[in-house]
Structure 1
């Protein structure tokens, strides 16, 4: 099918350029890389197109599958040390930005990411340093979550000595205490963190900065401080009667479960909220044997939780009570027996852009409850950091992660804003780069501003349709019988390569040879080294624009 399409284009353009009627436009082709939607949408700043096309083009460039997977792992870990973790828990905004959605579905970047990460763990791959130079400056990182560990990792790559101070007994932050093991097995997280420690990062657990050690001590002993204290305090509902013993915050519930505590939730659990914490808490309660309902004040379209997790929750028998909000409780002996609710309707959009829920008069109803879990939000514990809070904001930072209130202090992660783990990873890396430049007496770099490429610049008809590969998942009865059995399975390396071949390499040359084949003036130069981009001999070019028009990936511009 591909050959037929290319053949038609050849005839069309050859006949167009063969006559004497051609007039030189005065424009000439240039290599013009562009920003693909996958990379534009990745908060971590991962080189998505590079690691995916490395797998896709392996055979073409004479690489074995193992060579391609190892190369892809090293590309990935330039920006993030957590491929196996993020390949399991990231809601993959990169896929929402994928141009292939308009053809036959986004490339399964997240599943490819997981395969690369698991390969790295299986083969014991190790990180590469950017320099063998050993810097004299010391950096302190407060908090061993994704932002803090990423910052420490990147600074270690640059040659700095980094010490991470963690308040709890084990590193991981919300990756450890907030995400269920059926989504992120503890050994996967442990192994990716251990690799960071083996790389040279020093870790001190059970050390709470702000109480055990004053922040001023760190400022005195270290040349820069990065704060990534997380947001481990859950918020309750603000409804009278919620001080009952069987009302918990989502964060507290997950934390206690992950510390091995047995919690008797009874047989009727209500979870209030629509985010990932609400879904996670509800699914754990199902595994504890409870009938579980989620009460959410908007509709499924506004739920901020990961779509796949919502679908899995429904498969597991969790009832979703939309357009409803808690209004009070019925109590007996300091325990909730029923939760009073009121129906809602959606009004005008609020500051978040979502339509505001408005109570409907006279629509009250009750739901029986043996436990109520409030998973509406969470916040940091700022004990010892009060002076750094900026007005009503939490830690307020500039575009490079530097705290606005205090020079020499940087921040990232949930203590700046509640967001994705990939956002925290991006903030940690950005701060590490800014710290490095600051200590070298340089201005932090301004990110490159490549133009984004959309389907308007792609030849979508050039790419053959190919169904997206989906991984298998554990049967419902098996997952409910095992609290921490991993639900979603990954792709095999062979499947990951097959899925990677669906990538259209938006905005970057992938060696299709279309421009070289169709240029009658022989102005297109085929590279001698496979994998390099095609170049142009401007002296031979007659400005016909064929090369730009036939380029499937939109890499060529005329100026």
Structure 2
């Protein structure tokens, strides 16, 4: 399609298209695997198609990028942030095992960066809400997404945030990964667009108001997503590791928050040996932050270097490579049995070799095993513990929302508490995960709250099975572009170290997408103005000889055979068919016809 990139001005504004939920022959929702993985349900295939058809001129492309940004914003008002921090869909991309996943995160960043100024200054707000009042406790991504989805339905939303700023766990992400302006503009614009009332510094629970107080104030439903998470303490053999009270022993998560709030001066760790405990992405955020503060940094983790192993390090390859380039060293397969100090100050750690992190049985269980005869000691000046986060459920317990075992009592489908009607719970209060997963909870809760306040069945039609479209068979898979990072000498600061796509690069990367999913749930070609409707592909049984040439030529396995009047003839599976026309071109008996209005689109382009 590269020869048809240029679409006349304004054609991308044809956004109000009805796309269908397509199901396979077993009744499962049929989507490309990237969209099945996306927690917020973005139409990735469709927007990839539209990016690939952008005009090469920057000024003309900008108009269409804003229109595309509006479309993405409808489902995800935090997408400019996601373009910097979320690439979950890439993990399931069909391209991943060939030449590498589509760089969807960078494509989303490409749109978000160019959409941001329009979002801040020009995007029109939603209609003023007149409906019932809903309270949301916690100002993180889950509550923000829930409030937006409720505002679209006309509800008046109030967020209660105990801290001095919104964003929740997003505030722990280093500025070199998520620029402050992107975070602030996205959140501030969302409040304006959705008419969200925010009560900053107001605590719910503890010595603050209770949930019953909120109901008496007139809130008909309450969504709880309190946070942010708290650091997980360091243990060995299920016991707290001694020495955690020594001066110089800190939690890495606190460092990230303090740096972003401007509480930590430059060169804070200059001349100091900093040891970071942990093998996840947050641990590497901490390590790279400490390096930018002047420290000589060493990461110590339980996991082994081989990521394909069951005990492989969980951090992303890019995090590990970036840290190594920046001079950070990694010690694999070591635990911490003891934190040793002198005169009340941290001095070193005792590290036995970790022989296994997870149990062997299916599903695995975190159960590290050690060889206590193989021990090393590592000296340092600062120890930053970053082995994970957990939910502080004190507030939930105070409000009577836990069951007899201390677990959260919540319906997993509707997210409504099974202890208190009209109270819904999501985000990190349910489980620690990715920001996009917290946002999904907000979407689910908004749907449930809407049904609850309307007296409708909150569970009907909510549970669905999905099937993933396979990788199309093509003769050559295009290579994945490499990340563009600044030179190490230029990036040991808190400015973004990763460069985004240019217009040309974004178009080329979007063109790599094989559009694995069904046309009916995408309609990107229609939205882009190439044609007014999807083409129809038909097989004329009277002409079909059953030779099978069409079957062998189809890259999408959309051609099938059936018996008709004693003859074997082909038919087209509408769910799998991409309307490419290859089968029609290959058919020696002209039995396959494809009816489209592509010529109208092409004539306008030319």
Q: Same fold (TM over 0.5)?
A: yes
String of CA shifts for 1:133-155, please: whole Å, max 9, x gaps: 84421111111111111111111
Q: RMSD between aligned alpha carbons?
A: 3.1
Deviation track 1:66-114 (CA, whole Å, cap 9, x = no partner) reads 3442232123222211122111111x12112112234432211110010
1:476 CA drift (Å): 1.0
Q: How does 1:364-379 map to 2 (within 5 A)?
A: 364-379=375-390
- SS of 1:124's equivalent in the other structure is helix
Q: Which runs of 5+ in 1 are unaligned?
A: 4-28, 511-527
Write the distance in 1 (CA, Å) between the matches of 2:418 and 2:468: 31
Q: CA deviation at 1:538?
A: 7.6
- 2:462 is equivalent to residue 446 of structure 1: yes
Q: CA deviation at 1:547?
A: 6.5
Match of residue 83 from structure 2:
87
Q: For residues 260-284 of structure 1, give each alpha carbon's deviation from its aligned partner in whole angstroms, at most 9, with x where no partner exists.
A: 2237546111111112221111111
User: CA separation in 2, counterparts of 1:248 and 1:503?
Assistant: 44
Shift of residue 451, structure 1, vs aligned partner: 3.3
What does residue 304 of structure 1 align with?
Answer: 314
Partner of residue 189, structure 1: 183
Map of 1:278 onto structure 2: 283
Equivalent positions of 1:237-256 (< 5 A) are 237=234, 238-256=240-258
* Cα distance, 1:530–1:137 mapped onto 2, change above 3 Å: same
Instruction: Note closer, same or farther for the CA distance 1:280–1:433 as it changes in structure 2 (3 Å cut).
Output: same
- Aligned pairs, how many? 505
Matched, 1:223 2:224: no
Cα distance change on mapping 1:71 and 1:469 into 2, 3 Å: farther
Shift of the alpha carbon at 1:352? 5.5
Note closer, same or farther for the CA distance 1:207–1:553 as it changes in structure 2 (3 Å cut).
farther
The counterpart of 2:416, out of the listed 402, 414, 417, is 402
Q: CA deviation at 1:495?
A: 1.7
Contact map agreement 2:36 2:466 (CA 8 A) in 1: no
Call closer, same or farther: CA 1:83–1:2 in 2, change over 3 Å. closer
Q: Which moved more, 1:33-42 or 1:146-155?
A: 33-42
Indicate the SS of the match to 1:169: coil
User: Which has the larger displacement, 196-205 or 491-500?
Assistant: 491-500
Which residue matches 2:441?
A: 427
- The counterpart of 1:326, out of the listed 326, 336, 343, is 336
1:388 partnered with 2:416: no
Distance 1:558 1:502, change over 3 A: closer
What is the deviation of 1:36?
Answer: 0.2
Rate the CA distance shift 1:398–1:424 in 2: closer, same or farther, 3 A. Answer: same
Q: Using the TM superposition, give the Cα deviation of residue 315 of structure 1 relative to its aligned residue in structure 2, in angstroms.
A: 1.2
Q: Which runs of 5+ in 2 are unaligned?
A: 4-24, 235-239, 521-528, 559-571, 576-606
Residue of 297, 304, 307 corresponding to 1:292: 297
SS in structure 2 of the partner of residue 216 of structure 1: helix
> How many angstroms does 1:470 deviate by?
3.3
Q: Which residue of 1 aligns with 2:21?
A: none
Q: Secondary structure at the match of 2:49?
A: helix
Q: CA deviation at 1:123?
A: 2.9
Structure showing greater relative contact order (alpha-carbon pairs closer than 8 Å, 6 or more residues apart) = 1
| TM-score of the aligned structures, taking structure 1 as reference length | 0.82
User: What CA distance in whole angstroms lies between the structure 2 residues aligned with 1:137 and 1:127?
Assistant: 25
* 1:159 matched to 2:154: yes
Structure 1 residues 342-351 or 147-156, which shifts more? Answer: 342-351
1:129: Cα distance to partner? 7.6
Indicate the residue corresponding to 2:480 in structure 1: 468
